[in-house]
């Protein structure tokens, strides 16, 4: 299939596909006339990349998943390198949650401090 059909079927732009190719995540074959040609396995690669990007992974994070699929595995998360990316991403998310909880506590404390002032203004 050509790039336009892959883009349509995968729900991405042709520009995104060219970018994935530029980043080494997708490898187009060239037809005699120079058009990019893809097959069903490329559709699976793009779907894997998109699903990872949707939940916050980077293209570099997606690389082990793509390599795992290219190696013939049924899923991109079937390889130890992919599992390690999951673990690292979960640790990053946990750190972000801790940071956000700390910020939330600070804002809540500031709100609690401001409330007596607001009540006094409302009664005068």
What are the chain's domains?
Answer: 3-123 (1.10.1660.10)
pLDDT at 123 over 70: no
Structure confidence at residue 85 (pLDDT):
98
pLDDT band for 124, please (50, 70, 90 cuts). Answer: very low
SS3 6: helix
Rounded CA-CA distance 3/100 in Å is: 41
pLDDT at 25 over 70: yes
Neighbours of 99 (CB within 10 A): 10
Task: Give per-residue pLDDT as tens, 63-98.
Answer: 999 999 999 999 999 999 999 999 999 999 999 999
pLDDT at 18 over 70: yes
| Average pLDDT score, the chain | 92
CB 48 within 8 A of CB 65: yes
pLDDT at 103 over 80: yes
Mean pLDDT, residues 55-67 taken together: 96
CB 57 within 8 A of CB 43: no
Mean pLDDT, residues 42-62 taken together: 96
pLDDT band for 119, please (50, 70, 90 cuts). Answer: low
């Amino acid at each position: 299939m050509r790039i336009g059909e892959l883009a349509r079927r995968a729900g991405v732009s042709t520009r995104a596909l060219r970018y994935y190719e530029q980043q080494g995540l997708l490898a187009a074959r060239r037809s005699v006339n120079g058009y990019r040609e893809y097959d069903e396995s490329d559709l699976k690669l793009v779907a894997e990349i998109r699903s990872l990007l949707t939940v916050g992974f980077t293209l570099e994070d997606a690389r082990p998943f793509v390599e795992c699929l290219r190696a013939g595995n049924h899923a991109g998360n079937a390889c130890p390198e992919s599992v390690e990316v999951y673990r690292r991403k979960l640790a990053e998310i946990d750190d972000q949650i801790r940071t956000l909880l700390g910020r939330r506590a600070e804002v809540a404390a500031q709100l609690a401090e401001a409330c007596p002032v607001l009540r006094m203004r409302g009664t005068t």
